[in-house]
Amino acid sequence: MQVPAAGDRTGQQHYAARIEARHETVLAFQVGGRVSARLAEVGDTVAVGAVLARIDSSDLRLRERDLAARLAASRAERADAASALRRTNELRPKGFVSQAEFDRVAYRDQAAAAQVEALTAQLGLAARDLAYAALTAPAAGVITARMIEAGQVVGAGQPAFSLAQVGQIEAVFDLPEHQRAGLPDTVQVTLWTQPDHPLTAKVREIAPQAADGSRTYRVRATLPVSDGPPPGLGSSATVAFAGSVALPAIPPTAVLKRDDGQPAVWVVDGQGTVRLRPVTLGPVQGDRVAIAGGLGAGDWVVTAGVHDLRDGQAVNLP
């Protein structure tokens, strides 16, 4: 092939993608205890409010009963204090009750009222903790991970399930830095299981910072909602869009390694012979590899059978 000039070649750029849910939530119990039942498995489709697991609620029920009994006793004490305060108010104008006695009865009534209020709040918390003994799905979706087993003792906040909400599905792929500025608003997503049915996805998010290892930017494109079954989460796809090449790019089959480990390509000179020329590789551009140095626009390079050539061998151009 003849090496194109940098930025001159335009066409479809292709990148590998993975189908993921836009919202994936890690679910956990809000109270600790021993798991008495696990009712969901990885891959299960669950409705909103479905019970996924339960913990043993015996201790929680005992605590609720204890607080209910203490609240009943406190209300009786509050009634007695209120009755004593009414009698004191009736006797005070007649001079039968001192100011100190009146203050003591009034303070007792206030303390009893506060005790009733505190125990009422504690009983409400106990009832809520008892409801938390059942872990429910906050939204409809698919269970993608399970981290607990029946009989296991878990703490509050310990991850139990991962739930992927299937309302919005996205294609996630990594984009080289030189293609970031030219990424259009929509891309074509083709599932590997449905090669004849490309989908138009809207680019929703481009990571503001490049990944440390690959120096690529994570892109998320939202797939359209269809009447048919949604794509399988974790399935593979190909993302394509039109864009220009910032660096000259050639097929990776044209690159070989010299004895010293440096990359090189076979270049056809003006006499129709091949010469091994060292090159500097750039980032991968879809199904091609960029050449940062060593080749010029218009050079002819061998793309197939590179391991069968020798330096100075005559070849015929296609």
* pLDDT tens, position by position, 247-259: 777 888 889 988 8
Q: Please state, rounded to an integer, the average pLDDT across all residues of the chain.
A: 86
Q: What is the pLDDT of residue 232?
A: 78
Q: Return the higher-pLDDT residue of 289 and 106.
A: 106
Q: What is the pLDDT of residue 197?
A: 85
Mean pLDDT of 107-113: 91
Q: Token pair for residue 238?
A: 């190909």
pLDDT tops 50 at residue 8: no
Question: How much of the chain, in percent, has pLDDT values that exceed 70?
Answer: 92
pLDDT tops 90 at residue 297: no
Q: Token pair for residue 99?
A: 């100011």
Instruction: Looking at mean pLDDT, say which of 179-183, 202-206, 207-211 comes out highest.
Output: 202-206
Question: How much of the chain, in percent, has pLDDT values that exceed 90?
Answer: 38
pLDDT tops 60 at residue 10: no
Q: What is the pLDDT of residue 92?
A: 77
Mean pLDDT of 196-202: 88
Helix (H) or strand (E) holding 216: strand 216-222
pLDDT tops 60 at residue 314: yes
pLDDT tops 90 at residue 37: yes
pLDDT tops 70 at residue 88: yes
| Predicted model pTM | 0.59
pLDDT tops 50 at residue 174: yes
Least confident span in 93-97, 133-137, 303-307 = 93-97
pLDDT digits (tens, 9 = 90+) for 116-147: 999 999 999 999 999 999 999 998 888 989 99
Mean pLDDT of 54-81: 92
Q: Token pair for residue 107?
A: 């303070």
Least confident span in 227-236, 264-273, 299-308 = 227-236
Mean pLDDT of 192-217: 85
pLDDT tops 70 at residue 228: no
> What letter does residue 162 receive in the DSSP assignment?
E
Q: What is the pLDDT of residue 51?
A: 94
Radius of gyration of the chain (CA): 36
